[in-house]
Amino acid sequence: MAGHSKWANIQHRKGRVDAARGKMWSKLSKAIIMAAKSGGGDPMANFRLRKAIDDAKAVSMPKDNIERAIKRGTGELDGGDMEEILYEGYGPGGVAVMCEAMTDNRNRTAPEMKQLFSKFGGNLGNSGCVSYLFDRKGVVVFEDGVDEEQVTMIAMEHGGEDIDHNDDGKLQVTSPPDAFDGLVEAFTDAELAIDYSEVSQVPQTTVDLESDMARKVLSLLQALDDHDDVQNVSTNLNITDEALQEEDA
């Protein structure tokens, strides 16, 4: 889980900073559109939509933007012709990279993904080329100081699988994707402070690279994550503190 949690933490911390400038609103709008499109526009009956709305509110996305995104998803407004696509490829050093995207124009997004992979020393691959190296999992990460015993009990009752601490020392619970909604809802009802939660691609094992190559991978991951259509980026690289420190230097 180390490769997932380290990069996930980077993404979420970055997202909070970017959101202050409005950079994340486009991505959040797409998440709301897809949630409303797949499960209807009532957040009380559509947990995925409710979570997307909560994520948007957490970064001060305006209420009007949220409502327009819901209406686009339900077809009340134009602009809801969105689809989810999984892009797979290889980064520098041959590490596996997966990008979950939402786009209204795959003919635009696919070439842009290919260009980004190539620009940063990687290669966009065919469907299935690296997905076998990952498991799709629900991941819930808690704020510091949460009651670990209570988290464990609720996780056991609602489909949680692994309970551990991530690279930042925060308590983390994983689950099958189909148990994720109920698990997060149970934690929320118990008023347990969640740092973030998502369904994402978790590497089965991680690989190590020397620091120079690892920094090149981080540059690719960052560029992919900055793309407006990309919602999540996953890798099987073991991201070390040394590589992160040198990248920030």
Query: How does pLDDT run across 5-59, given as a tens digit for each residue?
Result: 567 777 766 665 565 556 688 889 999 999 999 999 999 999 899 999 998 998 8
Span 186-195, average pLDDT: 94
Band of the pLDDT at 80, cuts 50, 70, 90? confident
Q: Do 123 and 218 lie in a common domain?
A: yes
68 occurs within a structural domain = yes
Q: Let me know whether 195 and 140 are in one domain.
A: yes
Residue 198 lies in a domain: yes
Among residues 74, 92, 108, the one where a domain terminates is 74
Tokens 């609602």 correspond to 158
Residues 92 and 140 in one domain: no
Say whether both 199 and 211 belong to one domain. Answer: no
pLDDT of 2 = 45
Is the per-residue pLDDT at 233 higher than 50? yes
Mean pLDDT of 103-113: 95
- Residue-level pLDDT at 242: 73
Question: Which residue range forms the structural domain that includes residue 192?
Answer: 133-203
Total of domains in the chain: 3
Concatenate the DSSP letters of all residues of 98-141 into one string: EEEEEES-HHHHHHHHHHHHHHTT-EE--TTSSGGGEEEEEEEE
247 found inside a domain: no
**45 shares its domain with 139:** no
User: Do both 43 and 158 map to the same domain?
Assistant: no
- Whether 121 and 21 map to the same domain: the answer is no
CATH for 113: 3.30.70.980
> Which of 222, 211, 198 has its CA nearest to residue 97?
222
Are both 61 and 89 inside the same structural domain?
no
Q: Is residue 163 part of a domain?
A: yes
pLDDT (0 to 100) of residue 173: 95
123 and 211 together in one domain: yes
The tens digit of pLDDT for each residue in 58-67 reads 888 999 999 9
Output the domain CATH number for residue 34: 1.10.10.200
Question: Residue 245 domain-assigned?
Answer: no
E-only strand ranges, the chain: 83-90, 96-103, 123-124, 134-142, 163-165, 171-175, 194-203, 230-235
What is the number of residues in the chain?
A: 249
Q: Answer yes or no: is 248 within a domain.
A: no
For residue 69, is it within any domain?
yes
Per-residue pLDDT, 248: 54
pLDDT score of 19: 55
Of the listed ranges 126-130, 161-165, 238-242, the one predicted with least confidence: 238-242
Range 139-151 average pLDDT: 94
The span from the CA of 136 to the CA of 234, in Å, is 11
229 & 112 share domain: yes
**98-102, 120-124, 149-153, 168-172: range with lowest mean pLDDT:** 168-172
Tell me 174's DSSP state. E
Residue 16 has a pLDDT of 57
Q: Looking at the structure, do residues 225 and 119 belong to the same domain, yes or no?
A: yes
> Does one domain contain both 111 and 154?
no
Is residue 26 in a domain?
Answer: yes
Domain finish residue from 54, 74, 94: 74
